[in-house]
Amino acid sequence: MMAGWGKINNPAWTGAKAGAALTGFINGALAKTGGDHPDVQSWYAWFLQHMVLPNAPLWSRMVAWGEFLVGIALILGIFTGIAAFFGSFMNINYLMAGAVSTNPILFAIATWLVLAWKVAGWWGLDRWILPALGTPWRPGYIFHADDSEKDTAGETNVAHTG
């Protein structure tokens, strides 16, 4: 959360100069594509060079807000599995760009949270939010199955709700 908050308040990430910091990071990653054992694979370098660099201001804002929102969600324990998935997705992208730092540790933790989202969310807001909103396999009490989707025994027909 703090890394995202720092980026949100930095003009090189989200302000008038949005994309400047990300462009520097990507140029550093592209410099790691040579040699016998490159840190950045050629297919990912192509993606960075042709998809991210031309749209650096947009990607910069997405990184900043993504880090912040994932951090908030994990701290509050709301949509824990989804937040952990997107946190691990960001971490895998940092790793593919050749940035190691604490990213392998954060990736492992995020992966564990994705796998254990039901238990991980029990200690946060998911304990109350998910029963209210529902999940793909169990409708919540806010968004529940219509009476027309109930069979003759009064049970919810899973084929209609999933």
Report pLDDT for 145.
Answer: 57
Most confidently modeled of 82-91, 109-118, 122-131? 82-91
161: Cβ contacts below 8 Å, ≥ 6 apart: 139, 145, 149
pTM, 2 dp: 0.77
User: Confidence class of residue 161 from pLDDT cuts 50, 70 and 90?
Assistant: very low
For the cut 70, the answer to whether the pLDDT of residue 154 exceeds it is no
Least confident of 7-16, 85-94, 132-141, 146-155: 146-155
Cα distances (Å, whole numbers) of residue 102 to 23, 44, 113, 138: 21, 21, 17, 37
